Amino acid sequence: MTALQFDHVTKRFGKVVALDDVSLEIADHEILALVGPSGCGKSTLLRSIAGIHPVDGGTIRLGDRVVDDGRVQLPPERRRVGLVFQEHALFPHLSVADNVGFGVRDDTATARSYEMLELVGMTDYAERFPHELSGGERQRVALARALAPRPELMLLDEPFASLDTNLRARVRDDVVEILRSTRTPAVFVTHDQHDALAVGDRIAVLRGGRVVQVGTPVEVFHRPVDRFVASFMGEASYVPFADAADVSGLADDLGDPAAVAPAADRALMLRPDDIVLEPGDGAVVEHAEFRGTVWCYTVLLANGARVKSLRNHLEPVEVGTRVRAVLRPGHHPVIVDG
């Protein structure tokens, strides 16, 4: 069973094509992280699922129901999706318990509300009002409220963007655990690659309204389809093929570069953890950035290309030191468009 299916979905706002022929599936119980830069269509995709606006082409299915195909357009309240947004839209004049029970339209509302508050660890706050809660607490309540009517799919649109870094990782992990324990499939929108890598069973990368890659976090991080995905998912250096010999072991790993990449404009993507620095010659440490647990060195290769290299903080190297850049055994460069 699939929880959600997008089949060639297009959505326009005037001349802007916000979703451009998007096809995508989410399996039951799966959490899909949807990432991409601002304006790429993430919120439009969620709103299309929720039924906040109709799409202009294609079909959206939730479970085995068509919810939008241009003819059928199920209203939002009949789609059985839960929504959590960045700006936690709790009702200010309702208590926490009443907020959570709000979407349950029968006499189980109170019981269900307390059940959900227990799930998110907010039972003690049931009688409070939204303005008496911290940002993280409000997001837990928003989650409880979205879960109370037993949605078939949860949609989260940058739900933690307003929380500070430490709190955010904790609330994020709690939310993911709750989604998993209730076996609720979810689309989790974020513009943060760390969030995406941490929460997604799979990641879909969106660019200009198009899905450019869908895969597990490991696939998307280590085998990006292009340079855009490579850069978006994490820090990387790009070494032109012509300079491959400047990194020790790189040319060996590639075999014959000419055979691998006939096009001269292609490059090798190297993550900072791909490169080790050894005593030697041929490269020089140009810059050192302290990151707490590690140093990140920028190393200038003989041909003028630069790579980055992470190194434990206990083994610092001075800027200006001559070194040899070595491909770490087991790491393989990815070939991308130059």
CB of 157 to Mg ion, least distance (A): 6
248 CB burial (10 A radius; 0-12, 13-18, 19+):
middle
Judge whether 203 and 196 are in contact, CB under 8 Å.
Answer: yes
CB-wise, 16 or 218, nearer to ligand ADP?
Answer: 16
Contact partner at residue 40 from Mg ion, ligand ADP, none, CB < 5 to 8 Å by partner kind: ligand ADP
CB of 76 to Mg ion, least distance (A): 18
Nearest Cα to Cα of residue 4 among 178, 214, 315, 177: 214
Q: Nearest Cα to 84, choosing from 99, 66, 105, 106?
A: 99
| Spatial CB neighbours of 333, under 8 Å, sequence gap ≥ 6 | 239, 250, 253, 254, 268, 269, 270, 274, 327
Q: What is the closest distance, in whole angstroms, from the C-beta atom of residue 44 to Mg ion in the complex?
A: 8
Round to whole Å and give the CA distance between 312 and 221: 22
190 near Mg ion, judged by CB under 5 A: no
Q: Give the span between the Cα atoms of 67 and 60, in whole angstroms.
A: 6
Distance, CA of 181 to CA of 319 (rounded, Å): 50
- Shortest reach from residue 322's CB to ligand ADP, in Å: 45
Among 24, 32, 40, 144, binds ligand ADP (CB under 6 A): 40
**Identified binder of ligand ADP from the candidate list 4, 6, 35, 42, rule CB under 6 A:** 42
275 interface partner picked from ligand ADP, Mg ion, none, CB below 5 to 8 A per type? none
Question: Of 41, 149, 200, 257, which lies in the binding site for ligand ADP, with binding defined by CB under 6 A?
Answer: 41
Spell out the residues 6+ positions from residue 272 whose beta carbon is closer than 8 angstroms to its own. Answer: 235, 236, 237, 296, 308, 309, 310
**What CA–CA distance (Å, rounded) separates 314 from 92?**
51
| Partner interacting with residue 149 (select from Mg ion, ligand ADP, none; CB below 5-8 Å by kind) | none
Q: Least CB distance from residue 43 to Mg ion, whole Å?
A: 3
| Least distance in angstroms from the C-beta of 102 to ligand ADP | 26
39 binds, among ligand ADP, Mg ion, none (CB under 5 to 8 A by kind): ligand ADP
Integer Cα distance of 141 and 249 in angstroms: 53
Decide: is 16 part of the binding site for ligand ADP (CB under 6 A).
yes
Question: By CB under 6 A, is residue 60 in contact with ligand ADP?
Answer: no
The stretch among 10-18, 61-69, 136-144, 226-234 that binds ligand ADP (CB under 6 A) is 10-18
Residue 290 binding target from ligand ADP, Mg ion, none, CB below 5 to 8 Å by type: none
CA 33 – CA 186 distance, rounded (Å): 8
The one among 6, 11, 24, 43 contacting Mg ion by CB under 5 A: 43
Decide if residue 44 touches ligand ADP (CB under 6 A). yes
191, with CB counted inside 10 A (0-12, 13-18, 19+), is middle
Q: If binding is defined by CB under 6 A, does position 166 make contact with ligand ADP?
A: no
The binding site for ligand ADP (CB under 6 A) comprises: 13, 16, 18, 36, 38-44
The binding site for Mg ion (CB under 5 A) comprises: 42-43
